[in-house]
Amino acid sequence: MISISALAVIVGIVFYKRQQKSAAAVDFGACIPELLDILLVLIRAGHGPSAAVSQLHHWAPDQLYKTLIQAHTQLVAGTRFVEVMKTLRDHLGPSVYPLCDILVSADRDGLPINSVLDQLAYHSHLERRRLQDVAARQLPVRLLFPLTCCILPSFVLLAMVPLLVNSLTVVSGQVF
């Protein structure tokens, strides 16, 4: 009984720490492919880089909404596009560095960026697929604990204990 309660406490602590870690660190890299797709649609619709970033918050994933609405308000307030991209880089981290660099250079030089954004979107989709494959390969390891702690003991109780009890009753009946 004491070992079961100690195991329950340990499992509770592990799950609590895992939830705290996932709540503290939001992975913006997982949202980048959708962000690039939306940005490509806006660029192909005729928006410039600054206008596209200003409109991006309408269709962006929920995790990025707060940061993108802040970028929108900065652009509407008249902040230079380069400064807005620097704050966006600071908030979202290294996963958006190539995107911000491409947008800044396109805004500065006025060059078309459709093909560059297509390539960046393609590679970000490949990266997301690779990360999903890694997570799928980790799943059996994560399911090993519930298997050994829940399913196997129930198998022993349902399959082995009746056989053991039956054999003990047969042996005890022959002794007497």
Residue identified by tokens 């995790």 is 63
Residue 12 maps to a domain: no
Predicted local confidence at residue 23, as pLDDT = 46
CATH number at residue 95: 1.20.81
Residue 147 maps to a domain: no
pLDDT at 24 over 50: no
Residue 43 maps to a domain: yes
Kindly report the CA angle at 52 between 47 and 56, in degrees rounded to 5? 145
**Tokens representing residue 135 in the block:** 């997570």
The domain of 99 spans 28-132
pLDDT digits (tens, 9 = 90+) for 26-53: 567 788 899 999 999 999 999 999 999 9
Residue 158 maps to a domain: no
Number of domains, the chain? 1
Residue 2 maps to a domain: no
pLDDT at 2 over 50: yes
Predicted local confidence at residue 38, as pLDDT = 94
Residue 90 maps to a domain: yes
pLDDT at 25 over 50: no
| The model scores a pTM over 0.75 | no
**Tokens representing residue 128 in the block:** 């997301």
